[in-house]
Each structure stands twice: as C-alpha cells, then as structure tokens.
Structure 1
Amino acid sequence: MASGISRTPATGVTAGGGDDEEAAWLHALELISGFTVSMTLKAAIQLGLIDALTAAADGRALTAGELVAQLPAVDDAEAATSVDRMLRLLASFNVVRCSTEAGPGGDPLRRYSPAPVCRWFTAGDNHQGSLAPRLMLDVDEDNLSTWHQMAAAVVSGGPSAFERAHGMPLFEYMGTNHRFNMLFNQAMSQQSMMVMNKLLDRFHGFDGISVLVDVGGGTGVTLKMIISRYKHITGVNFDLPHVISQAPSLPGWVQGRWEEFPVQYAPVAVAKR
C-alpha cells in the first residue's frame, strides 16, 4: 500500500499517517463543506446553466464564457471565472463533465457537458418530473433555519426544530407564507410525478376501483396521473385549504378541504403520497 503524506527531512515535515488516516481526514473535510455542493447546484439551476448544457446542440460541450454570454452579467469576464469555478466543483461530484483543451495563448480552456444526473435537474420535460424544485425547497432559507434548531429541539423537548425557527408547525406556516407554500407544493408535485411514473408502469391494482381518495393529495398530481390512465375512476383530492387553492380543477375528480370530508367517500380506497 502506498504511504501517506511524506516529505524529506530537509523540509521540516515528517511523514504523515497511512492511507486510512488521510482518507478519514479528507472525508472529514468533505462532510464540513458538503453544503457547498447543494448551494452551487442551486445557483447553477437558477442561472440556467444546467438547462443550457442539456440543451446544447448536438451535445456540444460549452465553455464558461459561452454560458455567460446567455446571462445578463455586468462583467462577462468576472462572471465567466465564477461560472468556471462553479462547474469545476460540480464536475468533481459528477454533476457535469469537464474536458480541457488549449485555449488562446496556450492557457487551458475547460469545456462542460451534462452528466446523466443532470436530466433530473432540468426544467424541460414536464412529464418526467424534476428534482430541481425539491433542491430549491431543501436549501431554502426558511428550511435551513430549522436545522440550526436541531440540537435545542433534541435536548429541550417541546416544539420541533421548525416550530422553534418559525413559531408554528410546518403546515400551519405554509398557510401564512405563500412563497414557501408554492415552493413546497412544486417540490412535492414534481417528486410525486417521478414516483408515480414508475409505480404506474409496475402496479396494476386500480382496475376494480371506482372512486379513489387521496388524503393529503397536495395539488393532485398523483390522482391526475392515476385517473388519466384509469378513466373509469372518480378521483377525490383532499388537503388543507391553502394547498387546494393552488390545485387545478380537472374533469373526473372532486376536490375538498379537510373539514368538508363527505361521509359518502369514507369507505373508498385511499392513495397516499
């Protein structure tokens, strides 16, 4: 096995630990800075970099400068440097692919193309679903603030970490914060779409059901996908008022709030997200 960090005595640096020790040290650094990957990916999505790489004609790899040319940047050169650093980080985590060639003056010029995981972070195919809204939810400042309350919630009991950060439970908070409510519903809808695409390809247990109730069905994506394939089913979508207010009204289903749950729907099948 190769040795760890080692220097000649003249440098004043003695031999370090073995491979296991160095690997543990590198792992510790990765744990400390793990948030940088999520936040950098968030910025790349917000800037449209992932969509631009995925949409590049003939799969052509793009430079940071070519990507920045599509942005309303004040200083293209400075922005290109920042984008290049962002994409180099994402390349080290196999989010994008990076190749290097000789640029003007002999300086290295990096080109980027999408890695397979990028398909789950694009906004293109609405039928496939995207994890981009889920990422935006998870790293949103309203969500991140709750993590700072975790230790206090563990030792003190009482309110949850979310309640400590926002003064009320999650679903009550969403009823008062339209922006966060939209963010949450978009994330759940897109993720439900991804799960249901797989489920409906493999599960065939809806044939004998005439009425299907989704309790806590969000904006109705799950029911919509089921009744689009099983057109004999009447779908009933129930959720909180601030959620139902954002759900579309579609033929073949009924929507209602918790406090309006009709007795006639009580014995029917229930689908859960």
Structure 2
Amino acid sequence: MDLNQSLGEADELFEAQAHIYRHIFNYATSMSLGCALELGIPNIIHDHERPITIQELVSKLNLPITKTLHLQRLMRLLIHSKFFSITKFHDQENEDEKEGYVLTVASKLLLKNNNTSENSQNQPNLLPFANLILDPVLMTPWQFLGKWFNGNESTVFETAHGTPMWEFANKNPGFNELFNDAMASDSRMMSLVVKDCKDIFGSVDSLVDVGGGTGLNAKILLEAFPHMTCTVFDLPHVVVNKIETKNLKYVGGDMFCSIPSTDAVFFKNVLHNWSDENVVKILKQCKEAIQRKEDDDDGDGKKGKLVIIDMVVDENQDRHEITETKLVFDILMMVLVTGRERTKNEWEKLFLEAGFSRYKITPIFGLRSLMEVFP
C-alpha cells in the first residue's frame, strides 16, 4: 500500500470519526441554546439596541468576570449554529473598532414577549415551543428509547414516566400549561401566510377546528377570513369557560365519536399524534360531519372538505436538513405519543381508507404542508 492510498483511507476514517462525533454531540448545541434562553441572552441583545460586546453582555447578565471566556465560548458555538452573529462597529464616541453580538432571524423568534398587547401576542414566537422540547419532562424519555424497544408500553414517554403523555399533562397543570403555550406559539407561525390561502378558505362559510385548544388557530383564520363561522372542538375540560364571539364558538366532545357538522373540518398538528388506525377513525368522523352539513343545506351541491396542516415527508424533493428535521419529528412522535410523520403515499392510503376520493397538497407552511381532502 503506497502512502497516498494509506492517507486516503485514513482521511475517510477520520471523516467518519468526525461524523460520529458531530451526531453524538448534537445535544450539546441544544443544551447550549437552552442555557442562552435561560439566561435571557436574546432579549438582552435585543434591548441593547446596538451590537453588544462580550464585556457588556457579562455585565448585563450580572455574571462573575471570571466567566467571560466561558460565555464567549458558548456564544461561539451558537454563532456557528446561526443563532447569533457577530459584527464590527464603532460606538457613539467613535472609539476603536469593536466586535459585538447581534440577533439572527432564528434568535428573533426566541425573544421573550414582555408586551401584553393583543397584537404582540399574535406575533410569531417559538420560545414556548423551545422551552417545552428542552424541558426535562420531554428530555428524559430519550434515555429510555432502548428500554422501550424491549418493553410493552405504547410509548417511550410511558416507559420513562409510568403514564402516557396526555394523562401526565392532565395530572400536571404546570406541564399542561407549558404544552399548550408551546402549541400556541407554533400556531402563530400560521399567521405569516394564511392570508394568502383565499382559494382554500375563501368559499368556506363554517369551519370546525378539531383539537383547536384555546382557539388561536381559529382566531388567526377569522382575522384573515372574517366571513367564516369557526367552532373550536376539543375535549370538554379544554374548552370549558372559553369566551365566545359572534363567529367563534367552543364545543366539547370526542373526535372519535362525532364531529359537529360543517363545511370544512380543520386539523393543525393533530393527526400526526395518532396511529394509522386511529387516524382512519377520525377521518371517517370528518366525512360524516361534512356530509351531515350538506344534507342540512338541502343538497345545494356545495362540496365540503377536510383541511390538514401537517408534515409530509419527501426525501426526494426536500433539502437534506429539512428531511432530517422531519425524520427527527417522526421519532419524537414515537417517543411521546403513538403517532408518526407520513409520506404522501402514507397520507393517501389513510384518505382512501376513510372514504375520501381525492386530495391536494400545497407545501406552504415551511416544514408543514396544507392538505385539502375531498369526499
């Protein structure tokens, strides 16, 4: 074996080593980001109103000066991961050029919202979602994944905590609030493009948001399409005492038993929580709800539909990092609940099995697609 061949094989092995290390230490980036959020670094940088130096950041955080180098190392990793950026600037006294930290688009989505106005509360913000995913309650089950494969529990969460996640949430109000806040924060991203969905919602007079929780999805839809009447349909204890308006109603019930009749049934990030068998059961109830509405309208020929916002896994078309994120979400569904992320063909199989005849997929919501499904 000549030297070049030997070096080539060594390079390949070293590259493999780096690949392994990068993936087994991925959690370090998550934990470092969690630390930055816990310290409130995004808000400190935002409130500083100009690039902030490492010394100023240490001072604002009230950290011992001996932690300066350590904080700098933390920020270096998060800059590399594109959560922050560093820029050169001159201060007002025109002193020597300095370097300071600034926010990126990603960290702007992780700001604490201290403004209580309705408008600010509807701005996209993913801090509650990040706080949920990085919470020890959801981090712990990952340590039990191998044990779960050899056990009989339905989810890894149950293996770790002794109870399914939905029951755990019902018994732990603090976690339940954290979960609901996270789902609401994710829903606010919908407001970025929902106004462009006139072809989908413009002709819909009545809509039932199944699993709609506090009603944020419905409120976003009504803001864009005020002609609609929206009904938030969720478990009775979820919707009790919610404030209704002229075109926003709350109804308690069980989606496996019956769904209120409507022109359109709407799901956002709900069906991926459930197994294929349960999704088919839910979809059949949706079809009945649409058909009942058509019968109530004396057969005017108006066709109802199902509207779903959820992930569609497409390894052939999606960029590598998008596919990776979707596949991670798929494992997350396996860890926490009994659901999964699905490919186009897997969605189609469920639609047809439930009695729907056709569907249309529009990849408009980033990681998620909007699916229209017709009887």
> Which category describes the TM-score, using the shorter chain as reference length?
0.7 to 0.9
Q: Does 1:56 align with 2:56?
A: no
- How far does the alpha carbon of each residue in 1:9-53 deviate from its partner, in whole angstroms, 9 at most, with x for none? xxxxx9795443322212211112111111111121222211222
SS in structure 2 at match of 1:121: coil
Kindly report the root-mean-square deviation, in angstroms, between the aligned alpha carbons of the 2 structures: 3.2
Deviates more, 1:14-23 or 1:182-191: 14-23
Q: CA deviation at 1:212?
A: 1.1
Say if 1:19 and 1:55 are closer, same or farther in 2 by CA, change over 3 A: farther
Q: Do structure 1's residue 115 and structure 2's residue 94 form an aligned pair?
A: no
Task: Check conservation: 2:235, 2:253, Cα contact below 8 A.
Answer: yes
For residues 241 and 86 of structure 2, what CA distance do their matches in structure 1 show?
A: 41
**In structure 2, what is the Cα distance between the partners aligned to 1:247 and 1:88?**
45
1:193 maps to 188
Structure 1 position 262, deviation (Å) = 11
Please say if 1:80 is aligned against 2:68. yes
The match for 1:20 is 12
Whether the 8 Å contact between 2:51 and 2:99 is mirrored in structure 1 is no
1:35 equivalenced with 2:32 (yes/no) = no
Instruction: Say if 1:263 and 1:16 are closer, same or farther in 2 by CA, change over 3 A.
Output: closer
Q: Structure 1 length normalisation: TM-score?
A: 0.79
Deviation, structure 1 residue 214 = 0.6
> Using a 3 Å threshold, how does the CA distance of structure 1 residues 151 and 49 change in structure 2: closer, same or farther?
same
**Which piece of structure 1 moves more, 35-44 or 46-55?**
46-55
Shift of 1:178: 1.1
| Residue 212 of structure 2 is aligned to residue 220 of structure 1 | no
1:91 to partner: Cα distance: 1.4
Distance 1:203 1:231, change over 3 A: closer
The residue that corresponds to 2:79 in the other structure is 91
How much has 1:272 moved relative to structure 2? 0.5
Does the aligned pair in 2 maintain the 1:121–1:132 contact within 8 Å? yes
Contact 2:214–2:242 under 8 Å retained in 1 = yes
Q: Runs of 5+ in structure 1 lacking a partner? A: 5-13, 102-108
User: Does the CA-based 8 Å contact 1:174-1:242 persist in structure 2?
Assistant: no
Change over 3 Å in CA distance of 1:139–1:263 after alignment to 2:
closer
Change (3 A) 1:28 1:264: closer
Equivalent pairs: percent with the same residue? 27
- The 1:32/1:194 distance shift into structure 2, 3 A limit, reads same
The alpha carbon displacement at 1:122 in A equals 2.0
Q: Distance in 2 between matches of 1:178 and 1:160?
A: 21
In structure 2, list runs of 5 or more residues that go unmatched: 90-97, 114-119, 269-375
SS at 1:238's partner residue? strand
SS in 2 for 1:255: strand
Q: Which residue of 2 aligns with 1:11?
A: none
- What TM-score do the two structures reach when normalised by structure 2? 0.59
Between the two proteins, the alignment pairs up a number of residues equal to 251
Name the CA distance, whole Å, in 2 between partners of 1:248 and 1:89.
Answer: 45
